[in-house]
Amino acid sequence: VPGGAGPGGPYGVGTEATSGDIPIGQGFFVKTDVDAESFIVNNTHRTHSTQAYYKDNTEEYDNLLRFVITNQYSHDEMIVRLLPEATVDYDKNMDARKLFPANQNIPQIFTLSPSNQNISINSIPENNQDLILPVGIIAPAGICEISATEQNLVKGRKVYLIDKLLNEETEFNKNTVYS
């Protein structure tokens, strides 16, 4: 990780968080802001580490909400976190764009930025007390459940899920399941 940044980059969070070392048999994505650049990884970049398999990570972070949508086939995650230097729009050094699978049986959850970008990790400013954050869901027919698997907010902050289709508002906490 460039500059010695920690897990998941300089802000330390991911939908399947990392330590900076990628264990054997695990993949990763590289995104660049410019065309025609090369990203070269050769044998000199290998390291030996005791980094565990990423899906086994149970570390929790402050000022973070982790939502999961689940159906009978699979699940997907979305993260919203509060950072003082973030904006409400897409921040290329703090947010992650949503990547969609080819398998349409897997439900998808993501936030929508003001510039209409689909975001799977969305950093927003801490000072937004009453922010409405649009959430997109793509799911096959059938029952899906949305749950908050991690919710570490400053005491007194509340999160509500507003279902515009059914015109329902539900206070969302770590024990809430919405279907």
Model pLDDT for residues 108-165, shown as the tens digit of each residue: 999 999 999 999 999 998 876 677 889 999 998 889 999 888 877 767 778 888 888 8
Residue 137 structure tokens: 């869901």
Q: Which residue has the higher pLDDT, 4 or 148?
A: 148
Residue 7 has pLDDT above 80, yes or no: no
Strands (E), the chain: 64-70, 75-82, 96-97, 108-112, 118-124, 135-138, 145-152, 159-163, 168-172, 177-178
Q: What angle do CA 140, 144, 147 make, to 5 degrees?
A: 140
Please report which confidence band the pLDDT of residue 17 belongs to, taking 50, 70 and 90 as the band edges: very low
Give the number of other Cβ atoms within 10 Å of residue 119's Cβ: 22
Residue 173 has pLDDT above 90, yes or no: no
Q: Which residue has the higher pLDDT, 23 or 83?
A: 83
Residue 85 structure tokens: 């230097």
Task: Determine contact, residues 76/105, Cβ cutoff 8 Å.
Answer: no
Task: Determine contact, residues 149/75, Cβ cutoff 8 Å.
Answer: no
Cα 56 to chain centroid, rounded: 16
70: which strand partners?
75, 145
Residues 168 and 163: their CA atoms lie apart, in Å, by: 5
Residue 92 has pLDDT above 60, yes or no: yes
Supply the pLDDT for residue 14: 56
Mean pLDDT comparison of 24-33, 73-82, 122-131, highest-scoring range: 73-82
pLDDT tens, residue by residue, 39-74:
788 888 777 777 665 555 555 567 888 899 999 989
What does the pLDDT average to over 13-21? Answer: 56
Of 124, 122, 96, 120, which is closest to residue 108 (Cα–Cα)?
120
Of 158, 1, 143, 144, which is closest to residue 65 (Cα–Cα)?
158
What does the CA dihedral 165, 74, 148, 134 come to, rounded to 10 degrees? Answer: -40
Residue 21 has pLDDT above 60, yes or no: yes
Q: Which pTM does this prediction carry?
A: 0.71
Please report which confidence band the pLDDT of residue 77 belongs to, taking 50, 70 and 90 as the band edges: very high
